[in-house]
Chains A and B, each alone.
Chain A
């Protein structure tokens, strides 16, 4: 595998992570996940129902083929997120966890302080922690120091499809981060995914834009291509956006050394 994505010592060929909520049916979800080429698939722990008489969300995802990344959506504070993560591990789902602490149920923006304290506890307990955060370069640093496996800054609020509204901060996080940066939330079009990858993000996570597209399977493939295009552009060394009128030899060379 050339150019693999490495997270917590595991390597992945795909740099597109997919969320499984919001799809019109389990069948469409499974087909879209297939078309996306994703290898990491997030599942909300609060949707998991092992005893369900009418279908459990996990039934549609092949654990041999995908790394199932349970998330703690619904948690309002560190304590609830920790309890959910433990539940996911005890239930045999995973010791990986996408840490989401979103006390505001309407816009679902993450709580920085609670996320950091939950991450510290979960890392100590042996979890592989992938925290969903505001695009805050300092917080990203603190989480990396706490042992988070990645940081997952948001491009714009969940479900808005607005793309990289936090681009300046995301740029800073990418420049500095010692752990992989996965841009999560708000990516509404394959061009947004491409843009994040061109900036040098290690991966992107998409759910709403695929799940609520008219043809989720086709949109999943489009995001796969967008993500790949952005990554290749990044590797190719996209021309930096500096002044084009840069002379090939110094303009002041004739002046000699001072």
Chain B
């Protein structure tokens, strides 16, 4: 990693152009060049290359998905999170019929890709419960991805059997020392276990793996290198797995946390373009954490999946609830409005890109 940082610091405009011109597969050294201060001066050129490559691989389509928060209970203390266990917010775990109501609502909005989200709580959110949540949601959506605690390979196997096809698990902070300072209590303290979990999921037959760093917690360039190295190692080991990378920036939450290493809009755009150029076939994901203006711009650079109309509190789609949300949503447009805007920007919003018959 130190070598990559040195390479980024020393990169020139000519190095950036050489990386952009490359016909063969780009590697992590190219990533360093594409995230260098020199590349930042040439962001338009980098963006153009990224946009073209995205068009070739994904065409002019954007996949839409919706998060469905099933519980905000949590035993961890992650100092930045609105669900951390030591703050007094109202907690809720949805009953299966409430999950069904939320899933039906999202299906009515058009969604066929649903992301189930929960905190980590062995008693209040046991595996049986998550399994049941997957089964209920699968009645309404052919694709169900889980953004919940890490599991063992055997446990992931049960979730695959229940019908889950994706697992999203952010490492949050790749720098190990900083990770320890943010994750002070609970099972999430185990850095290595979390880092290995996406591989356990892939091994158990999960078809889509989503990873990411929560941007703003540690110097972004080094985090980007480590994230890319993680992506690369997963792809080398699990070649049948579809990889997605998310770029969540820390948002206001009940934790009232100030990001110590803020990532600017330009830095975020540079990361998205660089990941596209190094991982031409990876899904790149952006949530409603970002503003409509920024999202409208970033879908043209390399993003391929976005959420829309999101509520980050359990039960949020069924009307106002008491439960606290995980973070503040910046883009509050309805799914229909987002779809219309994508069309105006020249992208087809894709609601369904998966099929029941593809589940084993």
Number of interface residues of B (CB under 8 A): 39
B322-360 CB contacts (< 8 Å) to partner A: 336, 339, 343, 346-358, 360
Binds B, one of A35-43, A49-57, A168-176: A49-57
B360 proximity list for chain A (CB < 8 A): 79-80
B347 A24 Cβ-Cβ under 8 A? yes
Number of cross-chain contacts by CB at 8 Å: 99
A142 proximity list for chain B (CB < 8 A): none
B60 A46 Cβ-Cβ under 8 A? no
Min C-beta distance of A203 to chain B, whole Å: 22
A107 B281 Cβ-Cβ under 8 A? yes
B355 A46 Cβ-Cβ under 8 A? yes
Binds B, one of A98-106, A194-202, A218-226, A240-248: A98-106
B102-161 CB contacts (< 8 Å) to partner A: 108-110, 112, 142
B56 proximity list for chain A (CB < 8 A): 159-161, 208, 212
Q: How far is the CA of A25 from the CA of B62 in the complex (A)?
A: 11
B60 A54 Cβ-Cβ under 8 A? no
B358 proximity list for chain A (CB < 8 A): 46, 74-76, 80, 83-84
Q: How far is the CA of A29 from the CA of B61 in the complex (A)?
A: 12
B357 A47 Cβ-Cβ under 8 A? no
A105 B281 Cβ-Cβ under 8 A? yes
Contact with B along A75-117 (1 / 0, CB 8 A): 1100110011011000000000000000111110000000000
Answer yes or no: B22 CB below 8 A from chain A CBs: no
Task: Identify B59's interface contact among A23, A45, A80, CB under 8 A.
Answer: A23
B61 proximity list for chain A (CB < 8 A): 21-23
Answer yes or no: A26 CB below 8 A from chain B CBs: yes
Of the listed residues B281, B282, B336, B348, the one surrounded by the most CB atoms of chain A closer than 10 A to its CB is B348
Which chain A residue shows the least CB distance to B110? A54
Contact with A along B206-245 (1 / 0, CB 8 A): 0100000000000000000000000000010001111100
Task: Identify A49's interface contact among B55, B108, B351, CB under 8 A.
Answer: B351
A46 B57 Cβ-Cβ under 8 A? no
Answer yes or no: B191 CB below 8 A from chain A CBs: no
With contacts A54-B110, A104-B240 known, is A74 near B348, CB below 8 A? Answer: no
Min C-beta distance of B185 to chain A, whole Å: 37
Answer yes or no: B58 CB below 8 A from chain A CBs: yes
Which chain B residue shows the least CB distance to A76? B240
A8-23 CB contacts (< 8 Å) to partner B: 21-23
B59 A208 Cβ-Cβ under 8 A? yes
A208 proximity list for chain B (CB < 8 A): 56, 59
Answer yes or no: A211 CB below 8 A from chain B CBs: yes
A76 proximity list for chain B (CB < 8 A): 207, 240, 358
A103 proximity list for chain B (CB < 8 A): 239-240
Task: Identify B357's interface contact among A22, A44, A83, A207, CB under 8 A.
Answer: A83
Min C-beta distance of A110 to chain B, whole Å: 14
Q: How far is the CA of A48 from the CA of B112 in the complex (A)?
A: 11
Task: Identify B355's interface contact among A23, A26, A45, A105, CB under 8 A.
Answer: A45
A52 B281 Cβ-Cβ under 8 A? no
Min C-beta distance of B145 to chain A, whole Å: 15
B60 A22 Cβ-Cβ under 8 A? yes
B243 proximity list for chain A (CB < 8 A): 106
Q: How far is the CA of A74 from the CA of B55 in the complex (A)?
A: 19
B240 A21 Cβ-Cβ under 8 A? no
With contacts A47-B350, A211-B59 known, is A25 near B343, CB below 8 A? Answer: yes
Task: Identify B339's interface contact among A49, A54, A74, CB under 8 A.
Answer: A54
B60 A24 Cβ-Cβ under 8 A? yes
A47 B353 Cβ-Cβ under 8 A? yes
B24-68 CB contacts (< 8 Å) to partner A: 55-61
Q: How far is the CA of A53 from the CA of B335 in the complex (A)?
A: 12
Q: How far is the CA of A44 from the CA of B57 in the complex (A)?
A: 15
Q: How far is the CA of A211 from the CA of B350 in the complex (A)?
A: 15
Which chain B residue shows the least CB distance to A29? B348
Q: How far is the CA of A177 from the CA of B36 in the complex (A)?
A: 52
Q: How far is the CA of A44 from the CA of B239 in the complex (A)?
A: 22
B281 A106 Cβ-Cβ under 8 A? yes
B59 proximity list for chain A (CB < 8 A): 21-23, 207-208, 211-212
A212 B60 Cβ-Cβ under 8 A? yes
A46 proximity list for chain B (CB < 8 A): 142, 352-355, 358
A212 proximity list for chain B (CB < 8 A): 55-56, 59-60
Task: Identify B354's interface contact among A74, A79, A159, CB under 8 A.
Answer: A74
Which chain B residue shows the least CB distance to A188? B56
Min C-beta distance of B24 to chain A, whole Å: 12
A29 proximity list for chain B (CB < 8 A): 348
Q: Hey, which bits of chain A sit against chain B, CB under 8 A?
A: 21-26, 29, 44-49, 52-55, 74-76, 79-80, 83-84, 86-87, 103-107, 159-161, 207-208, 211-212
Q: Hey, which bits of chain B sit against chain A, CB under 8 A?
A: 55-61, 108-110, 112, 142, 207, 235, 239-243, 280-282, 336, 339, 343, 346-358, 360
The 22 listed contacts between A and B (C-beta, < 8 Å) are A22-B61, A24-B60, A25-B348, A45-B357, A46-B352, A46-B354, A46-B355, A49-B352, A52-B110, A53-B110, A54-B339, A74-B354, A76-B207, A86-B357, A87-B355, A105-B207, A105-B242, A105-B281, A106-B281, A211-B59, A211-B60, A212-B59
With A46-B354, A53-B108 given, name 4 new contacts (CB 8 A): A45-B355, A52-B110, A54-B351, A212-B59
* 6 A-B pairs closest in CB distance: A22-B59, A106-B281, A24-B60, A212-B55, A83-B357, A105-B242
